Amino acid sequence: MKIVLMFMLFVNLLFGGKTMSVYDIKVKDINGQELTLEKYKNKVMLVVNVASKCGFTGQYEGLEKLHEKYSSKGLAVLGFPCNQFLAQEPGSEKEIKEFCSLTYGVKFDMFSKIDVNGNNTHPLYKFLKSSSSGIMGTDMIKWNFTKFLVDKNGKVLKRYSPSTTPAEIEKDIIKALQ
């Protein structure tokens, strides 16, 4: 908790006293282009750390179904490949993009590989984890396909375990889109 508070203080100083929001965070898309999450302002975001060689990889299909059904209503599914769990995302960004497209027809936004735990945790995951703790109050991401639902104003609504399927999140997405 101390580290999170120190990080938030540092960010506050860095942004000249302005409170940092999820929209200030810089990310790189799967093609290596840097952008901020400002692109998703006023949208509901479902942020997922993904992997191509995981027991939960089949969830790509459900994530794509959510994207197809609700993107026109304001849902943005964001996939962040991560290789921190038994090296289940070993490929390059090009290989990941090709796998997702050919195997699951993924059209939702995919990003470059990131770390979700440890010393090199991406700022997005620092933000998400500090906003919504996991089981027993821990902030650590336990496995691939942990999901975060973020409302239209950038507030984390809920964190879901890897075993929670995209279909099980649909009712919360519908509520957030209203």
Q: What is the CATH number of the domain that holds 129?
A: 3.40.30.10
14 assigned to some structural domain: no
9 assigned to some structural domain: no
Question: How much is the pLDDT for 37?
Answer: 96
Which tops the pLDDT comparison, 14 or 141?
Answer: 141
Q: Are 56 and 143 in contact (CB under 8 A)?
A: yes
Question: How much is the pLDDT for 134?
Answer: 52
Question: How much is the pLDDT for 49?
Answer: 97
Active site residue 54: yes
Question: How much is the pLDDT for 13?
Answer: 47
Q: Are 79 and 28 in contact (CB under 8 A)?
A: no
CA dihedral (82, 75, 176, 9) positive or negative: positive
Question: How much is the pLDDT for 140?
Answer: 79
| Start-to-end Cα distance in the chain | 33
Q: Rounded distance, CA 71 to CA 126, Å?
A: 26
Identify the band that residue 1 occupies on the pLDDT scale cut at 50, 70 and 90: very low
Which of 30, 44, 54, 149 is an active site residue? 54
Helices marked H in the chain: 2-14, 59-70, 93-104, 123-131, 166-177
10 assigned to some structural domain: no
Q: Rounded distance, CA 175 to CA 178, Å?
A: 5
Kindly report, residue by residue over 60-115, the tens digit of the pLDDT. Answer: 999 999 999 999 999 999 999 999 999 999 999 999 999 999 999 999 999 999 99
Question: How much is the pLDDT for 132?
Answer: 62
Where in the sequence is the domain holding 166, given as residue range(s)? 20-177
Q: Which amino acid is at 146?
A: T
Per the DSSP assignment, residues forming a β-bridge with 35 are 27
Structurally, the chain folds into a number of domains equal to 1
What's the pTM value of the predicted model, to 2 decimals? 0.86
Kindly report, residue by residue over 74-87, the tens digit of the pLDDT. Answer: 999 999 999 999 99
Q: CA neighbours within 13 Å on the CB side: how many for 141?
A: 30
Per the DSSP assignment, residues forming a β-bridge with 6 are none
φ, ψ for residue 165, nearest 5 deg: -80, 155
**Residue partners of 143: CB distance under 8 A and separation at least 6:** 54, 56, 85, 162
15 assigned to some structural domain: no
Identify the band that residue 139 occupies on the pLDDT scale cut at 50, 70 and 90: confident
Give, as one character, the DSSP assignment of residue 121. Answer: B
Taking all residues of the chain, what is their mean pLDDT, rounded to a whole number? 89
* pLDDT surpassing 80 at residue 138: no
Kindly report, residue by residue over 3-59, the tens digit of the pLDDT. Answer: 544 455 455 545 444 557 899 999 999 999 999 999 999 999 999 999 999 999 999
Instruction: Kindly state the percentage of the chain with pLDDT values over 70.
Output: 85
5 assigned to some structural domain: no
